[in-house]
Structure 1
Amino acid sequence: MAPKNKSFDPVKALEEIENKFEMFQILDQDGKVTNKDAMPDLSDDDLVELMKRMVWTRVLDQRSVSLNRQGRLGFYAPTAGQEASQLASQFALEGEDYILPGYRDVPQLIWHGLPLTKAFLFSRGHYEGNQFPEGVNALSPQIIIGAQYVQTAGVALGIKMRGKDTVAITYTGDGGTSQGDFYEGINFASAYKAPAIFVIQNNHYAISTPRDLQTAAKTLAQKGVASGVPSIQVDGMDPLAVYKVTKDARDRAVAGEGPTVIETLCYRYGPHTMAGDDPTRYRTSDEDSDWEKKDPLVRFRTFLEEKGLWSEDQENEVMEQAKEDIKKAIKEADGAEKQTVTKLMELTYDDMPSNLKEQYEVYKEKESK
Structure 2
Amino acid sequence: MSSPEQWTHPEPASAPAATAAKPTAEQVIAGLRATDQGDVNLVQLLTPEGERVQHPDFDIDITAEELRGLYRDMVLIRRVDREANALQRKGQLGIWVPLLGQEAAQIGAGRAMRPDDMAFPSYREHGIAWTRGIHPTDLLGIFRGTDMGSWDPVEHKFHPYTIVIGNQVLNATGYAMGQKFDGKVGDADGEATMCFFGDGATSQGDVHEGFVWAAVYDAPLVFFCQNNQWAISEPTERQSRLPLYQRARGYGFPGIRVDGNDVLATLAVTRWALEECRQGNGPILIEAFTYRMDAHTTSDDPSRYRLSDELELWKLKDPIERVKVHLVKQQWADSAFFESIEQESEALAVELREFCVNMPDPPPERIFANVYAEGNPVLEAQRDEFLAYVEGFAGGEH
Determine if contact 2:80/2:136 at 8 Å carries over to the other structure. Answer: no
Residue of structure 1 in register with 2:368 after alignment: 345
Q: Residues 33-182 of structure 1: matches in 2 within 5 Å?
A: 33-35=52-54, 37=56, 38-127=58-147, 129-132=149-152, 135-164=155-184, 165-182=190-207
TM-score normalized by the length of structure 1: 0.90
Q: Counterpart of 1:24?
A: 43
- Normalising by structure 2, we get a TM-score of 0.83
RMSD: 2.4
The 1:22/1:367 distance shift into structure 2, 3 A limit, reads farther
Q: Which residue of 1 aligns with 2:388?
A: 361
Give the superposition deviation at 1:333. 4.4
C-alpha separation between the residues in 2 aligned to 1:313 and 1:24? 32
CA distance in 2, matches of 1:126, 1:195: 34
* TM-aligned CA deviation for residue 193 of structure 1: 1.0
Query: Retained in 1: the 8 A contact 2:77–2:126?
Result: no
State how many pairs are aligned: 357
- Would you say the 8 A contact 2:44–2:55 is kept in 1? no
Letter in 1 for 2:136: L
Give the one of 202, 221, 231 matched to 2:227.
202
Distance of 2:62 and 2:214 partners within structure 1: 29
Contact 1:59 1:319 in 2 (8 A): no
Q: What is the match of residue 319 of structure 1?
A: 342
Q: What letter matches 1:318 in structure 2? A: I
**Partners in 1 of 2:172 and 2:365 — Cα distance?**
32
Question: How far is 1:126 from its partner?
Answer: 1.8
Query: Which residue pairs with 2:273 in the alignment?
Result: 249
Q: Are 1:345 and 1:360, in contact at CA under 8 Å, matched by a contact in 2?
A: no
- Which of 264, 274, 280 is matched with 1:240 structurally? 264
The verdict on how the C-alpha distance between 1:92 and 1:76 changes in structure 2, with shifts beyond 3 A counting, is same
Q: In the alignment, which of 294, 300, 313 is matched to residue 270 of structure 1?
A: 294
For the 8 Å contact 1:342–1:364, the answer to whether it is kept is no
What is the DSSP-based 3-state SS (H/G/I as helix, E as strand, rest coil) of the residue aligned with 1:348?
Answer: coil
State whether residues 149 and 161 of structure 2, in contact with CA within 8 Å, keep that contact through their aligned partners in structure 1: no
Structure 1 unaligned residues grouped into runs of 5+:
1-10
Paired with 1:331 and 1:363, the residues of 2 have a C-alpha distance of 29
1:296 counterpart residue number = 319
Specify the alignment match of 1:221 in structure 2.
Answer: 245
* CA distance, structure 1, for counterparts of residue 65 and residue 219 of structure 2: 32
- What percent of counterpart residues are identical? 29
Q: Shift of the alpha carbon at 1:75? A: 2.4
| Unpaired segments ≥5 residues, structure 2 | 1-9, 18-33, 185-189
**CA shift in 2, pair 1:364/1:43, >3 Å:** farther
| Moved >4 Å (runs of 4+) | 16-21, 333-337, 354-357
